[in-house]
Amino acid sequence: MKIAVYPGSFDPITLGHLNIIKRASRIFDRVIVCVAVNSAKKPTFTLKERADFVSRVTGKYGNVDVATCDGLLVDFAREQKAGFIIKGLRAVSDFEMEFQIALLNKKLAPEIETVFLTADEKYTYLSSTIAREMATYNADISKVVPREITADVLRRLSNK
């Protein structure tokens, strides 16, 4: 069984993330979306909120599960018996950092392969930062985050 882990902060999950999840779910038998604590970033939404959002929008995919993780990604992947780590690439700017992380993970866990999926052209400009920024100004975020969570994201971030 081919199991893949898709890690990120998902602060909040965007249509770009969801596109990667959907495509990965067709490639792998099981996809585990790992919502990371990531001490380097100070998230806007709590870990529970971020994981709940991901659960809500991925509920319709039978082979996608959601988990939170606090330690090393490769440890989590091994615990889950995952042989693959999925990363989405939006632009060359993503590549440098992701390439470094992939090489490091390969050193730590040679049996785990990192698989890069290129962002859908429609979503290359999308990031959680943009979603949060737009929500702050009460802008229409329906083209940025999945519709199941738009109201909650706006309620939390809109200044109006």
**Per annotation, catalytic residue among 9, 17, 25, 50:** 17
Is 41 a known active-site residue? yes
Compute the least distance from the CB of residue 50 to ligand ADP, in Å.
9
Compute the least distance from the CB of residue 139 to ligand ADP, in Å.
17
Task: Name which of 17 and 30 has its Cβ closer to ligand ADP.
Answer: 17
Task: Name which of 109 and 119 has its Cβ closer to ligand ADP.
Answer: 119
Compute the least distance from the CB of residue 120 to ligand ADP, in Å.
7
**Per annotation, catalytic residue among 23, 78, 90, 106:** 90
Is 17 a known active-site residue? yes
Which residues of the chain form contacts with ligand ADP (CB under 6 A)?
Answer: 8-10, 14, 16-17, 20, 87-88, 90, 94, 119, 123, 126-128
Main-chain dihedrals φ then ψ at residue 5, nearest 5 degrees: -110, 135
CA 155, CA 160: separation in Å to the nearest integer?
Answer: 9
Query: Known catalytic residues?
Result: 17, 41, 90, 128
